[in-house]
Amino acid sequence: MAALTKPKNLQDVAAPGRDGVGASPLRPDGILKVKGDFAYSSDLWHEDMLWGMALRSPHARARILSVDVSAALAQPGVYAVLTHEDIPGSKFYGLEIRDQPVLAIDEVRFHGEPIVIVAADHPETARRAIAKIVVEYDVLPSIGPVEALDPERYGYVHAPADYKAHAFGNIVHSQHIHHGDGDSAEVRALADVIVRGEYEVGMQDQAFLGPESGLAVPAEDGGIDLYIATQWLHVDRQQMCPVLGLPPEKVRLTLAGVGGAFGGREDISMQVHACLLAQHTGKPVKIVYNREESFFGHVHRHPATMVFEHGATRDGRLVFVKAEIVLDGGAYASTSPAVVGNAASLGIGPYVIPHAAVDATAVYTNNPPCGAMRGFGAVQMCFGYETQMDRLAAELGLDPVELRRMNAMEQGSVLPTGQVVDAPAPVAELLRRVKEMPLPEVENWRTADGPDVRELPGGLSNTTHGEGVVRGIGYAVGIKNVGFSEGFDDYSTARVRLEVIGGAPVALVHTAMAEVGQGGITVHAQIVRTELGVDQVTMAPADTRVGSAGSTSASRQTYMTGGAVKQAAEAVRAVVLARGRDRYGWAPAFAAGLRLAGGKALTAAGEVVADLVDLLGDEPVDETTEFRHRPTEAFDKVTGQGFGHVQYTFCAHRAVVDVDVELGLVKVIELAAAQDVGKAINPLAVVGQIHGGSTQGLGLAVMEEIIVRDGKVRNPSFTDYLIPTILDTPPMPVDVLELADAHAPYGLRGAGEAPTLSSTPAIVAAIRAATGLPLNRVPVRPEHLTGT
């Protein structure tokens, strides 16, 4: 390993500050990040390293007739050209279903699917070698989500013979939820008003700024060391080992700097390719995607078509809901089954509805594979059910917020899955809070010097000085689960070591948690300071030398790895205090009542009874523990009943927009959020998460969509796939509520995803209020507003 230039963030990083749980210390990696010293996976360098690259399919669906790599192999500087035939182990991988070929075998199923990988001494050499590979295709008509439902006529994305999913046809996974009497004729008769709507959500991309990249280094023991940007080191390894034909102990992963994730790094991308090339050449291999390849190289948010029917009494009580959801899963399963589970179980929103019939299905198509993205199945649904709530309110002549509050779930409510909500569920309160926040000034663009175009739709594009501008206000609220659900054994591992270094107690925290910018390591240092009463905390790089932390997804890491760090620190404390029993003869009950703070052991009354340094002596305490949340259970296949989710999280938004209704331009004036986080372990980070999620929801509302035509991605660039700039991002006041969930560490509630849900429908509701247009599809485009 000597030849690897090991950057500072792949070494132990000191976490500065004295702040514990509930404070907002600065990030331990912050200085490195502002100095440009923080090495992302794309910044790694190894002596003699090669560059890997993939040849990708230009077609959405085609049979591969032949692959000729001879010219590429003959090119000087090329060290390896590999096809599926060169894979030593299994040729498939996948998070839930191993249906995705590492390299295409006899058929390509999506635009951008990798077919051949090359390692060369320079990226340019690799690119030229790729250009010399000749692949003959028999191009087939691609199967979209509509065709997928009629395989007899249009065919199968995966031939039935090698079908790997658990359902049938082109269906990846389905989940039905039957609650009360569903949508039976009797139930329908109870409703005075029934509102039906069809909705569509376009394909959103995570668009993290740091493209997929990593460095695979062959080791002397025949194994591989991989430095990688990912969300979950251990599940990457779990998928790679069978492909590489190596046991887990020979595939060692270390987290390199991660330039954002948002779900897009939940699946593996270049990991296994780099390792195969390193294994084959015996040399270190680095792969870095460019932006276009990044758009092809990771899964996207599932596009959804949704049909909802809501029935209510005249006075606004919801009677039933029926929802039929089809999610475009793309060519391979990825996390489609879990996304379906979320869409079904969270599909009616945070409301108490006595009768519900929900069907969610993900289909295989020849579109790009879809999987995890922040909000995971709940985002699409929230656009649907919240639009329905507005429509129902209009139909009933009720205030839309009031209608929501009347039907809001609360602690003790029964969900359509039969699960009783056993923690605070302040849905009505969050709505009240966003509604009561002061509204931004009307016509805020008027100044003494005339209109300030910067405050108007179109902004500096000079489109309006107030002409055609109409304000609208919209509300939405959403529900998201936290952690892995449906019976998954969700756990995280943490190791905490406490020792005296230079006369002071120092704690080391070692987990495999992927810090992707969420601030997990900041929080871990806070937890250790709180639990062990030390100032100096050091963060070890995340790697597979310690047990799995699970994924940095599902809003789960503060709960899960935070919980694991807390548990490990508690174990360390117990050992330390036990030493006091030996050293000072403390009675067990006395020792158990002590706490550690400021480098001392104290009684509950605050009396110092020992110095931590003395308690520790020269013998470190080193504890590793696994933390689990309460077990969940799978949803019944027929009825969808079951304790499927361990925790729920809620966020409400109020969006205020100005719309230039003539030119179709929207300016979000303000996007206010209220969210319950149970306990804000780091309030600054919580607000950052809410800002981030809200802004990604804004992107989905008004600009973000991967355009796929006949299976082909048409806008794989940041010029053609637009994400919000700083000018598109409005002031975002945040009201954080802290109602503890007694089941969770410190009472906390996962925070990262919920704001992504309600932001989109709140903004679109505001645009509807301004324009009177139905707007059943996101993103809303200018032409949807100009009616042309």
45 close to 92: Cβ distance less than 8 angstroms: no
CB 661, min distance to other proteins, A: 4
Of 362, 363, 357, nearest to 184 by C-alpha is: 357
Distance CA 101, CA 437 (A): 51
CB 204, min distance to other proteins, A: 12
Q: Which of residues 758-787 bind other proteins (CB under 8 A)?
A: 769-772, 781-783, 786-787
Q: Which of residues 305-334 bind other proteins (CB under 8 A)?
A: none
Angle (deg, nearest 10), helices 520-532 and 557-584: 20
Q: According to the binding rule CB under 8 A, does residue 204 interact with other proteins?
A: no
The helix (run of H) or strand (run of E) holding residue 223 is none
| Given 43, 107, 147, 486, the residue binding other proteins (CB under 8 A) | 43
CB 35, min distance to other proteins, A: 7
Q: What are the DSSP calls for 295-349, one per residue? A: HHHS-EEPPEEEEEEEEE-TTS-EEEEEEEEEEEEESS-TTHHHHHHHHHHTTT-
Q: According to the binding rule CB under 8 A, does residue 621 interact with other proteins?
A: no
Nearer of residues 208 and 232 to other proteins, judged by Cβ: 208
Question: Distances in Å between the alpha carbon of 735 and those of 14, 199, 353, 616, 759?
Answer: 32, 30, 27, 42, 14
CB 184, min distance to other proteins, A: 38
Q: According to the binding rule CB under 8 A, does residue 190 interact with other proteins?
A: no
Nearer of residues 568 and 661 to other proteins, judged by Cβ: 661
CA-only gyration radius of the chain, Å: 27
Q: Which 8-state DSSP code applies to residue 638?
A: T
| Cβ within 8 Å of residue 149, ≥6 positions away | 169, 170, 326, 363
Nearer of residues 262 and 586 to other proteins, judged by Cβ: 262
Nearer of residues 89 and 468 to other proteins, judged by Cβ: 468
Q: According to the binding rule CB under 8 A, does residue 726 interact with other proteins?
A: yes
| Given 11, 12, 14, 37, the residue binding other proteins (CB under 8 A) | 37
| Given 461, 583, 607, 617, the residue binding other proteins (CB under 8 A) | 461
| Given 53, 80, 665, 765, the residue binding other proteins (CB under 8 A) | 665
HSE, CB side, 13 Å, CA atoms: give it for residue 211: 17
| Given 2, 36, 85, 185, the residue binding other proteins (CB under 8 A) | 36
Of 334, 423, 419, nearest to 738 by C-alpha is: 423
Distance CA 164, CA 631 (A): 27
Region label for 22, one of left (φ > 0), alpha (ψ between -120 and 50) or beta (otherwise): left
Q: According to the binding rule CB under 8 A, does residue 452 interact with other proteins?
A: yes
Q: Which of residues 123-162 bind other proteins (CB under 8 A)?
A: 124, 127
Q: According to the binding rule CB under 8 A, does residue 186 interact with other proteins?
A: no
Burial zone of 639 (CB within 10 Å; 0-12 exposed, 13-18 middle, 19+ buried): middle
CB 473, min distance to other proteins, A: 7
CB 264, min distance to other proteins, A: 10
Assigned token pair, 545: 């030398």
Q: Which of residues 499-528 bind other proteins (CB under 8 A)?
A: 516-519
Among the listed ranges 32-40, 75-83, 318-326, 385-393, the one in contact with other proteins (CB under 8 A) is 32-40
Give Cα 636 to chain centroid, integer Å.
25
| Given 6, 22, 23, 30, the residue binding other proteins (CB under 8 A) | 30
Q: Which of residues 667-706 bind other proteins (CB under 8 A)?
A: 667, 684-685, 688, 691-692, 694-696, 703
CB 630, min distance to other proteins, A: 29
Assigned token pair, 613: 């340094």
Q: According to the binding rule CB under 8 A, does residue 214 interact with other proteins?
A: no
Q: According to the binding rule CB under 8 A, does residue 434 interact with other proteins?
A: no
